[in-house]
């Protein structure tokens, strides 16, 4: 009739489905918040959760209710000194209007409804924006690959890992252990029987002989019944997964910060760099990032200055490439580092410089790099694009794209990935 049930292990996270529904409904606001967060965060901090505020009116569920006005009578407890007929000023701000405890009186006010997006959910939205295919998402979001190693034996596992010799050895030991007492007893009884059966046969002890024979028979049956192989004998090869050790990489972010690069273009460039960074974290244990910004001169800067400082003036792209090469030679010998370059620009360059850029890349930089990606954030093709296009045709390690919206960034990486796959 009565029962106490332990449900602690059953059905956790029943509300996950409802939570997903909630996120789904507010995906626009969440996307906005993620966009803001991406703009505000450092590249390295991208893989974190985020608090998302949603205006309360957007999540309200309307029901019919009374508005202020009309005649209302309310009963309150805790009368101090009122008597019938007292007149009181209306309290400001609705205090004392509660009473019936209806919605709106909960004291929550009009604060935004804030909730925390987990790291996984955040990345999901971020990838959604970039229109990443699923396969790529999983490779990006996952931790590095694992390799399995043998690590002794365990008592459970899958049949294909069964270790027959070990299992049989265990079985023999068990059979010996379980049968030893019975076997000792059997030997004793057999010796006794032999003594009794030895002539001269004493007819008066026939009964005793029969009893002995019966006992011996029972012991033999008992010994026979000890199972040949028991589930507890089974031993499996145990395998443990260990992460594959990874090497180190350096990522060069090159960006044109001349007057023509406005905030929207910089944001586009930032997403491009973030994606490259995430891609690299998937492959390498340690990643250095070098930020080089340039207009007519190039300069190594920290991340904040890279994205936020504004400069004006003309553009000489080669200055950045020269600086990049210098830094590689000084700090990142290509024997110990995997070097990746990413360059974002609006394609505007001093017209005599573009040919020099191509030469620098082809002769000095690309031989040192694993990969160099150029992204142009405007549609218009200028001489830099044409020079680079010639380079892209002959070089495997060089990719270039135009991306005027964020969802166009990904194709650059598709090439990168397909190359990785081919390399393997």
Q: Chain-centre distance of CA 265, in angstroms?
A: 28
Residue 55: CB minimum distance to another protein, A: 13
Number of Cβ within a 10 Å radius of residue 170: 19
Residue 270: CB minimum distance to another protein, A: 29
Residue 35: CB minimum distance to another protein, A: 21
Whole-angstrom distance, CA of residue 113 vs CA of residue 4: 38
Are 254 and 344 within 8 A, CB to CB? yes
Q: CB-wise, 20 or 285, nearer to another protein?
A: 20
Give the ranges where 253-302 is alpha helix by DSSP (H): 263-283
Q: CB-wise, 80 or 335, nearer to another protein?
A: 80
Whole-angstrom distance, CA of residue 350 vs CA of residue 317: 8
Q: CB-wise, 121 or 256, nearer to another protein?
A: 121
Residue 22: CB minimum distance to another protein, A: 3
Residue 16: CB minimum distance to another protein, A: 9
**Integer angstrom CA distances of residue 6 from 3, 9, 14, 287:** 10, 8, 17, 48
Q: CB-wise, 3 or 158, nearer to another protein?
A: 3
Whole-angstrom distance, CA of residue 62 vs CA of residue 49: 31
Q: CB-wise, 115 or 350, nearer to another protein?
A: 115
Ramachandran sector of residue 69 (left: φ over 0; alpha: ψ -120 to 50; beta: rest): left
Binding residues vs another protein (CB under 8 A)? 1-8, 11-15, 17-25, 59-80, 82-90, 96-102, 105-107, 113-116
Residue 47: CB minimum distance to another protein, A: 21
Q: CB-wise, 86 or 379, nearer to another protein?
A: 86
CA diameter of the chain: 128
């Amino acid at each position: 009739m009565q029962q106490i049930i332990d449900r602690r292990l059953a059905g956790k996270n029943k509300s996950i489905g409802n939570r997903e529904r909630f996120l789904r409904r507010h995906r626009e606001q969440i996307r906005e918040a993620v966009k803001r967060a991406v703009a505000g965060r450092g590249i390295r901090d991208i893989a974190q959760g985020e608090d998302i505020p949603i205006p309360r009116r957007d999540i309200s569920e309307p029901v019919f209710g009374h508005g202020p006005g009309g005649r209302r009578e309310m009963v309150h407890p805790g009368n101090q000194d009122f008597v019938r007929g007292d007149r009181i000023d209306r309290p400001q701000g609705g205090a004392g209007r509660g009473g019936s405890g209806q919605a709106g009186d909960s004291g929550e006010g009009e604060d935004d409804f804030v909730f925390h997006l987990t790291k996984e959910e955040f990345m999901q939205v971020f990838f959604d924006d970039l229109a990443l295919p699923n396969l790529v998402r999983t490779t990006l979001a996952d931790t590095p690959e694992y390799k399995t190693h043998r690590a002794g034996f365990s008592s459970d596992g899958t049949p294909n890992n069964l270790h027959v010799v070990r299992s049989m050895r265990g079985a023999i030991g068990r059979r010996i252990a379980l049968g030893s007492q019975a076997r000792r007893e059997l030997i004793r009884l057999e010796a006794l029987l032999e003594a009794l059966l030895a002539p001269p046969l004493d007819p008066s002890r026939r009964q005793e002989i029969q009893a002995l024979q019966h006992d011996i028979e029972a012991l033999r049956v008992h010994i026979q019944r000890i199972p040949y192989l028991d589930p507890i004998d089974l031993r499996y090869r145990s395998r443990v997964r260990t992460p594959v050790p990874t090497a180190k990489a350096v990522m060069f972010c090159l960006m044109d910060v001349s007057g023509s690069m406005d905030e929207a273009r910089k944001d586009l460039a930032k997403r491009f760099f973030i994606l490259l960074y995430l891609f690299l974290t998937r492959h390498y244990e340690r990643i250095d990032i070098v930020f080089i910004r340039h207009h007519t001169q190039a300069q190594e800067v920290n991340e904040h200055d890279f994205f936020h400082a504004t400069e004006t003036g003309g553009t000489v792209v080669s200055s950045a490439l020269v600086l990049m090469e210098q830094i590689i030679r000084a700090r990142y010998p290509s024997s110990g580092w995997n070097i990746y370059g990413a360059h974002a620009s609006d394609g505007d360059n001093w017209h005599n410089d573009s040919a020099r850029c191509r030469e620098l890349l082809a002769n000095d930089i690309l031989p040192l790099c694993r990969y160099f990606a150029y992204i142009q954030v405007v549609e218009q093709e200028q001489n830099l694009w044409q020079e680079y296009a010639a380079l892209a045709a002959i070089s495997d390690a060089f990719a270039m794209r135009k991306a005027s919206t964020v969802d166009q960034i990904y194709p650059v990486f598709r090439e990168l990935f397909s190359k990785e796959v081919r390399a393997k």
